[in-house]
Chains A and B, each alone.
Chain A
């Protein structure tokens, strides 16, 4: 035993001395800060690259890279180039916190990522502690702004704005009895409950039923029976497209003839595939601007597909705008200092984005959500009403 004890101590001492000599990042090394005042300005982006939402990652990353390349092509910002650093959040809280800490360690100056609200929420204090402003392109749950954190800015429409758009369309369509259906995820329930509240206040259409379904099932007939028992003339589904497609099909099979509308999580051609072309025809959707419905974005779509060999997808435009907005804020702040960038972001007025001219509300959300109504025409979502 004596020998092995000596050996352990010696090898430990050797390892410690080698490692401390090797890098100065330890407690005694005097915290070297990656990304100082020289070289490119690093922007951090947390997106899902693995896990259930992995499909979204490339759309956001490519679009952000496109914006970085365009800005660098024009000489960069503050005489320095931009550099995009991407980390995987896997749509999971723990992975996201590790990823956010990784970006902080790499010295990013502004965060331009965030897709899953549940994974973005725990990263807020991580970036906040490091004094890094966050421009969140996609995640939009109300909890992100409810804490009134100075460094958090949302450039996607919020649940309140989506609910407002939904109620506006229901009223316009002359609906009387509305069934609201959600899947009990934070995002979906938020929209449904807010819509219900707006309907109660509006005095127009009434809420017939607020129904929750369990995601990932294949038979929703029990829920459909509950819904149809209340005889609604308008059904609003606020969850994702897999269940949305099934519910649409099963509603039609059960003989429902009224209007069906889905939220932005269901806007995918897969919805029409799952529901079948006949059942899906005429389904409405509340959605922010996508590359397909953007007017005057043909040039942008062309340069995206030329660079990456595929068309932009959901949240490509928001990710692209987040990087452009970050560059603009850096330019106006004249510095990479977090506090100065935050006040520059608060002061921005009329910066042109895909969603229109930008001005943040005191809550750091968009003053106009830019939600519009789409409709399914022969299996594809097309613009129905811009609600302007």
Chain B
């Protein structure tokens, strides 16, 4: 699963401009500025709801990017961690009356445990087998939530308090948390651990031979992804106020994975762009009603045909110098 592609048209002026923009440090700041200024342009409840969902989806995608993009572990059940985070926070806030932010430490602990419990047996497997087992775990979490009493069974949990009464404040809190998460994921990717992840992705046996403890490194990627997903789940529970097993289906895992692949695996700005595209497109296409998901599918296929390496592909620093 290599993502190193250097086929971008660098000969044309447009290509040069594009790659200068892609490499610019300021792209992230510009993105954050757009996110911060957007409510000044349009602050209708609808726009805020869509933008908040998009921000949460960005967080999910950047978490999965650690697992799939950095470390090359194909995870088809990522929504399991999203569900664990949402349910932990939902149960604690409705049963014990905790404010949403107070549930965050518990969510982190629970998702780390979930990451170890799910990761420890599965990460001994490679490639296709890993994908199949993660797919299974994704379903196990959903079906467990469907059958437990504490999670409200099939009807789920409702009446979860938000972070504040105003959707604008909620949006800004979400943007701040998501930006920190994206920056954090990106810094992790460039750390010593991040280099080990990339090594494992490129060649696991070579990494092992060079002294990288691949199993521990992979587990670390899995746990980091789990914490990111769980925190996104807290925001999700706060935004919707009601969660049920129906929100955590395999389709959701597939959509997050699609955001990562569409944006460019391993590329932080790419994954952010991919997540925004995946979460906004269905809303933009709302007027097509019955043809909504048909149009969505066709557009995704077109994007993958035109830019198979992703919208904003990753170029490693070592290679581009």
Interchain CB contact under 8 A, A189 and B239: no
Do A16 and B43 touch (CB < 8 A)? no
Contact A5 B26, beta carbon cutoff 8 Å: yes
Contact A95 B24 (CB under 8 A): no
The reply on A126 being an interface residue by CB < 8 A is yes
Contact at B290–A50, with CB atoms within 8 Å? yes
Closest A residue by C-beta to B56: A94
CA distance A122 to B27 in the complex (A): 35
Q: Which of B25, B30, B246 has the most CB of A within 10 A?
A: B246
For A214, the closest partner residue in chain B by CB is B143
- Report chain A residues within 8 Å CB of B147: 184
CB of A200 within 8 A of chain B? no
Q: Does B92 contact A (CB under 8 A)?
A: no
* Residue-wise interface mask of B (216-231) relative to A, using a CB-CB cutoff of 8 A (1 in contact, 0 not): 0000000000000000
Per-residue contact bits, chain B 95-115, to A (CB 8 Å; 1 contact, 0 not): 000000000000000000000
Residues of A contacting B: mostly: helix
Check if A104 sits within 8 Å of B46, measured CB to CB.
Answer: yes
Cβ-defined contact, A186 with B155, below 8 A: yes
A88 to B292, CA, bound (A): 10
Is residue B49 within 8 Å, beta carbon to beta carbon, of the partner chain? yes
Choose, from B33-41, B123-131, B256-264, B304-312, the stretch at the interface.
B33-41
B24-A50 in contact (CB<8A): no
Q: How many residues of B contact A (CB 8 A)?
A: 48
Residues 22-63 of B contacting A (Cβ, < 8 Å): 24-27, 30, 33-34, 37, 39-50, 53
Number of interface residues of A (CB under 8 A): 49
Other-chain contact of A93, B25, B243, B292 (Cβ < 8 Å): B243
- Pick from A19, A87, A92, A94 the residue with the most CB of B within 10 Å: A94
Question: Which of chain A's residues has its CB closest to B40's CB?
Answer: A26
Q: Which of A28, A121, A130 contacts B40 (CB 8 A)?
A: A28
Q: Are the CB atoms of B44 and A25 closer together than 8 Å?
A: yes
- Give the complex CA separation of A49 and B288 in angstroms: 10
Q: Which of A12, A99, A101, A185 neighbours the largest number of chain B CB atoms within 10 Å of its CB?
A: A101
CB of A205 within 8 Å of the partner chain: no
B residues within 8 Å of A by Cβ? 20-21, 24-27, 30, 33-34, 37, 39-50, 53, 146-147, 153-156, 158-159, 165, 168, 239-244, 246-247, 282-283, 286, 289-290, 292-293
Task: Taking A93-B246, A190-B155 as given, write out 13 further A-B residue pairs in contact, using a Cβ cutoff of 8 Å, ordered by the A residue number.
Answer: A8-B24, A8-B27, A23-B41, A50-B290, A50-B293, A101-B45, A101-B50, A105-B44, A118-B154, A121-B244, A126-B49, A186-B155, A189-B153
